Amino acid sequence: MPAGTLYRGREGMWSWVAHRVTGVLIFFFLFVHVLDTALVRVSPEAYDKVVATYKTPIVALLEYGLVAAILFHALNGLRVIAVDFWSKGPRYQKQMLWTVVGVWVVLMAGAIYPVLGHAARVLFGS
Amino acid sequence: MSTTETTASGIGPVEGAELYNVDHPAPLIEAPRRRTKKTPKSTRGNFELAAWLFMRLSGIVLVVLVIGHLIIQLVLDGGVSKVGFAFVAGRWANPYWQVWDLAMLWLAMLHGANGLRTVINDYAERPNSRLWLKGLLYTATVFTILLGTLVIFTFDPNIR
């Protein structure tokens, strides 16, 4: 690690770190996701076989993590835009981060049933 | 009394002689960092500014495209359990969703690639590792964008 990688701390730095980490994770998933979708050009069977893995409980949990990463990156990205373009943005960056976290928690709670419901029915019966 | 008299230019007589007056103006001193004909042209351009702006503009569009995509694929009509070849064929029969997915592919790949470029710039210090990591990144990005575009445009629902 280069010197001076850790600095200042608190909301400003940690939201920046989380934005980076989620961004890199999403990009790697996107690469895999374009490859798996490309299987529709091979055969319906090949595509359906790979998509079947997306429906297993363990991958469903990973999908929930992907949704978590995307929602944080999206909401915090809007906060970054507000910090850059809104004249009062830098002054309210902390309040905006906690707003982002609050909205994220609500959306993640709302995503539990739609994203994990199918996996729960597979595991515990419908 | 004549030695204490102030002159029109505000500069007192120096050893009895005025240095500058209306007929003999002081030499003009150029402001620091002022662009002149002799200033060399910048070779950098505004790429980093354009990249910075692109991240914000594409980000706003991607929030709409990606969250819409997640709602369609993971929430509506039984969530991920409905996704399959037939579902993809049904959606791509509509050019509207083709354009949606094409825009999402291009914007997300370029947004992500530029993000990773920034990360490489920040953490890879040796020139050789920077070169190889960026070469790998750009190769994977171009490959993925072209593959995805080809798949959207050549999709055949009656492939079998």
Task: State the residue for tokens 């850059």.
Answer: A84
Total residues belonging to chain B: 160
**Chain B residues with CB-CB distance to A81 below 8 A:** 56, 59-60
**Per DSSP, what are the bridge partners of residue B17?**
B14
Digit-coded pLDDT (tens) for B55-73: 999 999 999 999 999 999 8
A7–B contact, CB cutoff 8 A: no
Query: Which residues have a Cβ under 8 Å from the Cβ of A100 and sit 6 or more positions away?
Result: A15, A72, A75, A76, A78, A79
What does the buried/exposed string (b/e) look like for B88-122 if buried means 16 or more CB atoms within 10 Å of the residue's CB?
Answer: bbebbeeeebeebbbebbebbbbbbbbbbbbbbee
A4: in domain: no
CA A111 to chain centre: 12
- pLDDT band of A29, cuts 50, 70, 90: very high
B123–A contact, CB cutoff 8 A: yes
Using the beta-carbon criterion (under 8 Å), do A34 and B144 form an inter-chain contact? yes
A118: in domain: yes
Structurally, how many domains does chain A consist of? 1
Domain CATH number, residue A33? 1.20.1300.10
A30: in domain: yes
Phi, psi dihedral angles at A110 (to 5 degrees) = -65, -25
A120: in domain: yes
**Chain A residues with CB-CB distance to B106 below 8 A:** none
Q: In terms of Cα–Cα distance, which of B154, B69, B159, B39 is closest to A67? A: B69
B64–A contact, CB cutoff 8 A: no
Using the beta-carbon criterion (under 8 Å), do A74 and B63 form an inter-chain contact? yes
Q: How many CB atoms lie within 10 A of CB A66?
A: 19
Q: Which of B56, B89, B151 sits opposite A84 (nearest CB)?
A: B56
**Domain B47-154 indexed as CATH 3.30.460.80:** no
Domain boundaries, chain B: 47-154
Digit-coded pLDDT (tens) for A35-49: 999 999 999 999 999
Digit-coded pLDDT (tens) for B92-118: 999 999 999 999 999 999 999 999 999
A71: domain range?
10-124
69-88 in B: which are within 8 Å (CB) of A? Answer: 70, 74-75, 78-81, 83-86, 88
Q: Which of B86, B89, B112 sits opposite A30 (nearest CB)?
A: B112
A41: in domain: yes
Rg of chain B on CA atoms, in Å: 32
Rounded mean pLDDT, B148-159 = 91
A3: in domain: no
